[in-house]
Structure 1
Amino acid sequence: MNDIDYSNYEELGLRDAQIIMAGILKEVADICDKYGIKYFLDAGTLIGAVRHKGFIPWDDDIDIGMLREDYRKFLSIIKNELPEHLFLQTHENDLYYDIYQVPCKIRYNNTLFIEEKIVENPKMHNGLFIDILPYDSLPKKKWVYTIQRKISNFILRSFVRCREIPEKLTFKNKLTHFIYKIVVKIFPTQRRQKLFDFLINWNDINSEYMGYGVDTTWSEYIYKKKDFFDLIKVEFEGEYFNAPKNYDAVLTQLYGDYMTLPKEEDRVWHAKTIKKLSSMDN
């Protein structure tokens, strides 16, 4: 990806970018439906569907979630199902991909999306995307979950911190980053995934509870499965997609009063740069 000549790219407006991302979502959802993979709109995308029947007007990304068993099935079939203009991005098939807390994205080729708060990495695929977020059933015991997530969060935090090292560090922070660097060397992609698979085996697939996967960093969010399943359909940008059955309980737990618009100064987005190849149609 580092050999791309971005002089051939032109600025892309937010609404045009949203339309492209909604198209990615539709193609991914169609593949999931074809193979019986249960996905659901997540986070801000779910708010957008409920409150706006589409994107939150200032939003510039899409999140969908799926339980681990569906996520694994998704990864096993998606490579052979994606059209040529889309790219499956994981740590296994994009060796330069370094957004470690999001294990899977579907990117749109010949576009460019640079996030504001993430260190720029021109080597990885930086196209417009949707996030695919795995969810895990929880272990039977709370203390097991606590240990599980302390291990996985420390591993992920080490990779994230090494990617985003500040220019000036105190002695204490230098020591901490030295430890992070050791962890990063010990756990390259395959070994890190083996550790995550080992931790996933601690989960109880029959648990009444679920949360973001061990290969993400959002361990504080725990949900009741009965609030998700069976899934319902909600409108998003003129199409209908899966959503948690009790989306109100899910969104209230995640955001509180999600139906009230935030103050204008709080209406922020992720993108620093959004572009497309000049010869590409919107």
Structure 2
Amino acid sequence: MLGAVRHNGYIPWDDDIDVGMIRADYEKLLLLASKFHDYSGYEIKNYRYNKYCDYVIIRIYDNNTYIDNPLYYKTKYDKRLYFDVFPLDYAPDDIVECKKQEKRINKRKRLLFWTCGYTFKIDSIKKLGRCLLHAVLKPFRNLVLRSLDNEMKRYSKTKHLCSMASQYKYKKQYMDVTIYGRPVSYRFENHQLMGPSKADEYLTQLFGSDYLDIPPEEKRRKGYRMYEKRNSQ
């Protein structure tokens, strides 16, 4: 959304794309997952249908691409280009209940981190302990994912929405439903894409009132080389 409003497209130093969908529409997309791969060059992945997923969101991969990221070289991390789809779930209207849910969400996210196959260089007792903890918790990864997913879906038909799987804190993503409102069309490169009806309120809450200001170079994220795979004739 920041790219659409500030740059009318991709942020030049951040080629990441995140999509938000109301939970009901998100679930419909998940139902298409098994069929989607059959007639397209893409694959929809989620822990419900893919045994080795370590994320609670939907991730859509382009089968004809490759990301050249040095961090992936010696890992089993999927090296295809992808974008993430986050569910927008109803959140409690009561602030006390919000804080309780935020704690439950964060607890499950921490557990999920330890069940995932992140690699640690064992050069201290502390890191050895981390590896042992991962080994113990890894078999319970899908159980933790399911628990996190269910907690995100706990409430329905309230006056607030929250992207609880986001990297941003719960309170940053906790918004009045009217901010999303009826979707509005925004220019993104050569396309028109739908976004929140109150873009200024949405972006101000996430990034501050100066979200239109271009950040200094040292605060810009570095990208990676990406390649399109082509069959040689």
TM class, shorter-chain normalised? 0.7 to 0.9
Q: C-alpha distance in 1, partners of 2:204/2:156?
A: 25
Contact 2:120/2:127 (8 A) holds in 1: no
Which structure is higher in RCO with an 8 Å CA cutoff and minimum separation 6?
1
Higher alpha-carbon deviation: 119-128 or 217-226: 119-128
1:170-209 equivalent positions in 2, closer than 5 A: 171-185=125-139, 187-189=140-142, 191-201=143-153, 203-209=154-160
Number of residue-to-residue matches in the alignment: 225
Contact 2:67/2:81 (8 A) holds in 1: yes
For the residue of structure 2 that corresponds to 1:65, the secondary structure is: strand
Alpha-carbon shift at residue 248 of structure 1 (Å): 1.1
Establish whether residue 56 from structure 1 lines up as the match of residue 11 from structure 2.
yes
Contact 1:96/1:124 (8 A) holds in 2: no
Alpha-carbon shift at residue 205 of structure 1 (Å): 1.4
1:152-167 equivalent positions in 2, closer than 5 A: 152-160=108-116, 162-167=117-122
1:33-182 equivalent positions in 2, closer than 5 A: 46-81=1-36, 83-98=39-54, 100=55, 103-115=57-69, 119-120=72-73, 123=76, 125-139=78-92, 140=94, 141-160=97-116, 162-169=117-124, 171-182=125-136
Contact 1:113/1:275 (8 A) holds in 2: yes
Q: C-alpha distance in 2, partners of 1:212/1:54?
A: 22
Match of 2:191 in 1: 239
For normalisation by structure 2, the TM-score amounts to 0.81
Letter in 2 for 1:179: L
Alpha-carbon shift at residue 165 of structure 1 (Å): 2.1
For residues 117-147 of structure 1, the C-alpha deviation after alignment (integer angstroms, 9 at most, x for no partner) is: x545764542222211122211351243133
Contact 2:186/2:195 (8 A) holds in 1: yes
Gaps of at least 5 residues in structure 1 are 1-45
> Percent identical across equivalent pairs?
24
Letter in 2 for 1:274: M
Letter in 2 for 1:105: R
Alpha-carbon shift at residue 69 of structure 1 (Å): 2.1
Match of 1:229 in 2: 181
Letter in 1 for 2:22: L
Structural RMSD (CA)? 2.7
